Every structure is written in C-alpha cells, then in structure tokens.
Amino acid sequence: MRGLLTFLLVIATFFVSCGSTTAKKSAPAEVPMAVVVPIFNGDSAYSFVEKQVAFGPRVPNSEAHIKCGDWLEDIMRSYGADVVSQRFEVLAYNGDRLSARNIIAQFAPEKRKRVLLCAHWDTRPWADSDPDPSNHYKAIDGANDGGSGVGVLVEIARHLAYAPTEVGVDIVLFDVEDYGIHEKETSAVENSWALGSQYWARLPHKSNYNARFGILLDIVGAPDSKFNVEGISKHYAENIVKKVWAQAKRLGYGNMFVNEDGGYITDDHLYVNRFLGIPCIDIINYDPDSPNGFGPYHHTVKDNMEWISSETLKAVGQTVLNVIYNEK
C-alpha cells in the first residue's frame, strides 16, 4: 500500500512538473517583437528634390510640369506602386484653365487597413512675396515649397519597394496646390488654393476610399526647420499629431517637432479632413511669430536648392517611416 502511494505520488509529481514546464515553454512571449524600420536616407531624398527642380518650375500647363509628372509616375512604378493618375481640367481663380494631374501611388492596394501620405508636386507660378517687385510674376523653383515633401515621399517609396509595411500605403501627390490668389491682386474667388486636393477629396481614385489617417508634408526641407502644431491638424486629428510628434521625440527630433501652436494653414489636408473625413495632419514649417510665417525664401525666387537641408528631410522622413512601419 505504502509502495503504491509513493508510486502514485511520484507519477503525479512527474505530470505536474511536466505540465508546468510545458506551460512555461508555450507561454506567449511578454515582449512584443520589435519592428524593423528602414533607415531613411536624407541624401537620397535631397537628390529627389534636385531632380524635380532640374525640370524647371512645375507650373501647370508647362513642359516642365508634364515631364516631372511623367517622372514621378515612372519612379513610383519602379518601386512597385500601382500608380493611377487623375487627369482633369480646373479653372484657377484668375480664369486660367489648367491641365492638372493628381498622381496616386498605391502600395499593397488589396489591403483594407491603409495610411495616406501626401504632398503637392506643382509649384507656384509667381514669386509674389519677393522683395523685388520685378520678380512678382516670375515662377519659382519650389525646391522647398513643393519639392521637399515630394522628395521625402519618393524616398519613402524607395523603401516600400523592398520592405513592405503591415498596412497598405497610398502616396498621393496633389497638383495645383499653389495657384492661389496673387498677393498683389484682389479676387472674390474663395478656396483658390489646393485645387488638386479639392478635386481628389470630392472624387477619390476609388469610390468609398478610406484610410485610417493622413500625413501631408509641405515645406519640409529648410535648415533649422521648426514644426509647430498646425491648427487645422489639431482640430481634426489631434491624436495623429500626438502619434507623429511622439515618434519624432523618440528619434531625437523633439527640438524640431515642438508642441507649440502654429497657426491655421489652408492646405491640402483641409479638404481631406472636410470632404473625406479622413483625419489628416500637415507637417509644415510655419511659425506665426516669425516675420512672414514661412521662411524668408517663401514664394520668392530664393526658394531654390540652397534652402534644402538633407538633415531636415531626414528628420521628417525618418519620423514618417517610423509611424507607418509601426502601424498594425
């Protein structure tokens, strides 16, 4: 009897200990897998800005505009995007009839969970803020205003080609953002800015298009840039501002992405929020306390490659990469 009891006890202990050992082994890991985020190359982004500027000012109806649009479609395709362009005619505030093209580069279009990244690729036809009046009707290079946001997005696309994100990504390059009312003219036309995004937000490339959130990049290339929290972004998408600013801080860019209110800018994200209801923020170098809000080069003939810093492009690009690769 005693012998049997001891035997049963030994057997029981064996099973219990086995059981617990097995349970320990198969328990799910407590620490989540770290996400591998590609390293954004600021020099590569810089070269994509340079490339755009080399076409000349990308003013709608110009040869440079057509050529740059073709290049953007080609390079996005070369990175594996499913590219669809929206071609349309639009009437500017001054009666100019413009041939416009929104370029939509879809990565993993079959995925339901999506993130929208956007920038405008056209450039302003007039340097109407230039200190020299003889420049007020000259076109600008738009290295920073236009070129920088697109340069960052092309560099992001280069990474999406070989390192897919968990969510699908749509890179939308808006046309005719910068054909708004000339500073020295008066016009009763409302909403003269951001005509391409107004078109797309009313009639997206896919019916029932949706994305969890959007990030617009505008004027993101100047050295020593500061990105305040833009008002429309905070109004419609404060949690996205927080998500993006937190990533920037983690990466050591907290001095650039500051938690200060930065005024309200009528930009492409307004219509994405208003017409599509997709919470969309604007990362834009605008400081209401500085002499003209934007930098001294803004809408002048000085908006050229001299105002582009690969360090700033890197800070913005790495931040956005970290956001999209962490999205589940």
Q: How far is the CB of 269 from ligand AHN (least distance, A)?
A: 10
Q: Are 172 and 116 in contact (CB under 8 A)?
A: yes
Among positions 172, 232, 265, 276, the unique one binding ligand AHN when judged by CB under 6 A: 265
Site residues (CB under 6 A) for ligand AHN, limited to 213-252: 218
Q: How far is the CB of 265 from ligand AHN (least distance, A)?
A: 5
- Complex with ligand AHN: residue 145 or 175, whichever CB lies closer: 145
- Complex with ligand AHN: residue 130 or 218, whichever CB lies closer: 218
- The answer to the question of residue 141 lying near ligand AHN (CB under 6 A) is no
By a kind-dependent CB cut-off of 5 to 8 A, residue 317 interacts, out of Zn ion, ligand AHN, none, with none
Residue 162 burial by Cβ neighbours in a 10 Å radius (0-12, 13-18, 19+): exposed
The site that binds ligand AHN (CB under 6 A) totals a number of residues, namely 8
Q: How far is the CB of 30 from ligand AHN (least distance, A)?
A: 46
Stretch that binds ligand AHN, among 7-15, 35-43, 148-156, 260-268 (CB under 6 A): 260-268
- The answer to the question of residue 267 lying near ligand AHN (CB under 6 A) is yes
Residue type (1 letter), 291: P
Q: Are 145 and 298 in contact (CB under 8 A)?
A: yes
Cα–Cα separations (whole angstroms), residue 10 to 3, 4, 21: 11, 10, 16
Q: How far is the CB of 277 from ligand AHN (least distance, A)?
A: 21
- The answer to the question of residue 93 lying near ligand AHN (CB under 6 A) is no
Q: How far apart are CA 116 and CA 171, in angstroms?
A: 6
- Complex with ligand AHN: residue 220 or 321, whichever CB lies closer: 220
Strand bridging mode 257-261 / 227-229: parallel
- Complex with ligand AHN: residue 41 or 266, whichever CB lies closer: 266
Q: Are 45 and 98 in contact (CB under 8 A)?
A: no
- Complex with ligand AHN: residue 79 or 199, whichever CB lies closer: 199
**Tokens representing 117?**
């990244």
Among positions 122, 130, 145, 230, the unique one binding ligand AHN when judged by CB under 6 A: 145
Q: How far is the CB of 135 from ligand AHN (least distance, A)?
A: 17
Q: Are 256 and 226 in contact (CB under 8 A)?
A: yes
Q: Output the CA torsion 143→149→155→158 (10° steps).
A: -120
- The answer to the question of residue 193 lying near ligand AHN (CB under 6 A) is yes
Residue 296 burial by Cβ neighbours in a 10 Å radius (0-12, 13-18, 19+): middle
List, in order, residues 6 or more apart from 127 with CB less than 8 Å away. Answer: 135, 136, 137, 138, 139, 140, 299, 300, 301, 303
List, in order, residues 6 or more apart from 17 with CB less than 8 Å away. Answer: none
- The answer to the question of residue 122 lying near ligand AHN (CB under 6 A) is no
- The answer to the question of residue 128 lying near ligand AHN (CB under 6 A) is no
Strand bridging mode 168-174 / 114-120: parallel
Q: How far is the CB of 218 from ligand AHN (least distance, A)?
A: 5
**Closest residue to ligand AHN using C-beta atoms:** 266
Q: How far is the CB of 200 from Zn ion (least distance, A)?
A: 18
- The residues of the shown chain that bind Zn ion, judged by CB under 5 A, are 124, 145, 178
Chain residues that interact with ligand AHN, rule: CB under 6 A: 145, 178, 180, 193, 218, 265-267
